[in-house]
Structure 1
Amino acid sequence: MADLADGLRLAVTTFTVVPARPATLSRSAAAVAMATGPALGAALGALIAATAGALVVGGAPPLLAGTVAVTLSALLTRGLHLDGLADSVDALGSYRRGDAALAIMKKSDVGPFGVAALVLTLLAQAACLAALAAPLAGPGADSGGWWSLVVGGAVALAAGRLSATWRCRRGTAAARPGGLGALVAGTVGPVGLALSGALVLLIAVAAVPGRPWHGPLAVLVALTATAAAQRRLTRRIGGVTGDVLGAGIELTTTLTLAGLTLAP
């Protein structure tokens, strides 16, 4: 029970800015934190999507509403995952390996590759949320659009955290002895993977009314593409780091949102 409580507190402080009593750091607590990340992501995604919807109903242009929602997401996560994305892309763009690539990821500044990745990712997320929120605009708004928007947001952010859960499965090595990666890599067992994956896919089934396969397909494609990118990076640096997990979260979230916008 102590590990469960510490794991939940670690998940809250890792994935959100919500204040929580400091957790006792341990591998077992880390396993709980990584396995419960998708549930926290679903709650956060629903809140962010609902914010975009409320702004559109209030008369804001959908793209502005999507931009505000993405900004809120960055604030509620301290931009932690975005930082991981920028650092990871800079490392990939450098074509360096091992300690040299890790040194680039540890730098506080952001290079041109990282800046481009941040801009394109945030723009894509804002545009996708705008597309999902657009049916709520105007006097003839489709009230059913609320469902697709809120559930879609929940699915996207939950899928993003599921990529971190999967990347922390047993057998995964950390790239260096210290940091978040060393704490969480290889901690999540088959039960945690199964439960978190089932939760995300269950929500995804309901994301597109009348097309129960569309949401799960969007999630699976996003996770597969992210896993391929992460494998390339982890081979180059020798394992998992917190930056790798953050990059995977942002990439999976973006690709899932994009997949959901393709629904007719």
Structure 2
Amino acid sequence: MNATPPLPPLPPAGPPPATGMAALPDGLRFAVGALTAWQPPGRRADRRAATAGMRLAPLVGLGLGALAGGLCWVLLELEAGWLLTAVLTVALLALLTRGLPLEGLAGFADALAARRSPAEALAVARGPGLGRSGGLALLFAVLVQVAAVHELAGHGRDYAAAAVLVAVATARTGVGWACREVPAAEGDGFGALVARAVPTSVALPLAALTALFAGGVGALAAGEPGAGAVIGVATVALGLSAAELVLWQARARLGGLTEGVLGAVSETVTAVALVTLVVGAT
């Protein structure tokens, strides 16, 4: 008697995860949803999409920077005033990102000030309240950014808009840079999804491309092309160095990466980049 033939395997419940170039649309949707206020339809929140998305973070930064820099240029063209231009430019960035980076910075500052175990510090960072340290970090971050854009406006609308573009793009490159080697602080959540999603072999070329872009923009926008290029490259280098300091504190105090840490990286790099561009302009 013949043996019963084996049953064919059941079809998968859904489409297989995309790989290679096919993962780019999912990655772009993930990056846009994670780094901006817009939630694209069909966004996937799995490891594969997160891996592709964090590698595309600088591209999202270019979009955010173009919008903020464009507003800065238009307001200066309309002679709206340096202070008003600075406030509205920084406010637009907060609006475009739902204020999540600022919220992350505040929570991270409160966790650092708590001086407790990593688990307790994580609970403080996730808490709904705003502590003294978080409030001060939030205040100084916004004040530094507004003051920097105000000073940049004094160097002309082209340089100010270009500086905003470079600073925002550098900050999102810093977010991708943060997903390089630092482990996740928790076993689940956004930090676990993106931790170690960008290997160093990818992060370094992304940083180099951002530096080349910043140098090119600086050469075009500054009065002296050579000096502008150097300032642009230095902005990226100092911004990513600031990101490393935040990550060092995150590993030491929280045990690794969280969504709030990425917010702290973004806001810190933005402030450092803007200040570098102000100093370079003088």
Q: What is the percentage of aligned positions where both structures have the same residue?
A: 35
Q: What letter is aligned with 1:31? A: T
Choose 40-49 or 83-92, whichever is displaced more.
40-49
> Displacement of 1:132 after TM fit?
1.6
Matched, 1:160 2:171: yes
Tell me if structure 2 keeps the 8 A contact 1:35–1:165: yes
2:67 pairs, out of 34, 43, 47, with: 47
Tell me the distance in 1 between the aligned counterparts of 2:39 and 2:179.
24
Map of 2:243 onto structure 1: 226
Aligned to 1:57: 77
Q: Radius of gyration: which is bigger?
A: 2
Corresponding residue of 1:204: 214
Which has the higher mean CA deviation after the structures are superposed, 213-222 or 61-70?
Answer: 213-222
Equivalent of 1:69 in 79, 89, 96: 89
Aligned to 1:90: 110
Contact preservation (8 Å) 2:178, 2:243: no
Distance, in Å, in 2 between the alignment partners of 1:10 and 1:191 is: 21
Structure 1 runs of 4+ aligned residues shifted over 6 Å read none
- Residue by residue, what CA displacement relative to the aligned partner does 1:95-134 show, whole Å, maximum 9, x if unpaired? 1221110000110111111111111111111111122223
Match of 2:261 among 235, 238, 244: 244
Partner residue, 1:33: 53
**C-alpha displacement at 1:29, in angstroms?**
1.4
C-alpha distance in structure 2 between counterparts of 1:191 and 1:86, whole Å: 31
What SS does structure 1 have at the residue aligned with 2:154? helix
**Quick one: which amino acid aligns to residue 101 of structure 1?**
A
Say whether 1:104 aligns with 2:124: yes
Is 1:117 equivalent to 2:134 in the alignment? Answer: no
Q: CA shift at 1:2, angstroms?
A: 4.1
Q: Which has the higher contact order (CA 8 A, sep 6+)?
A: 1
**Unaligned regions of 5+ residues in structure 2, if any?**
1-20
Corresponding residue number in structure 2 for 1:21? 41
Alignment partner, residue 217 of structure 1: 234
Question: Is contact 2:174-2:265 (8 Å) kept?
Answer: yes
Q: Which runs of 5+ in 1 are unaligned?
A: 137-144
Q: Give RMSD over aligned pairs.
A: 1.5
What TM-score, normalized to structure 1? 0.91
Q: 1:251 to 1:173 in 2, by over 3 A?
A: same
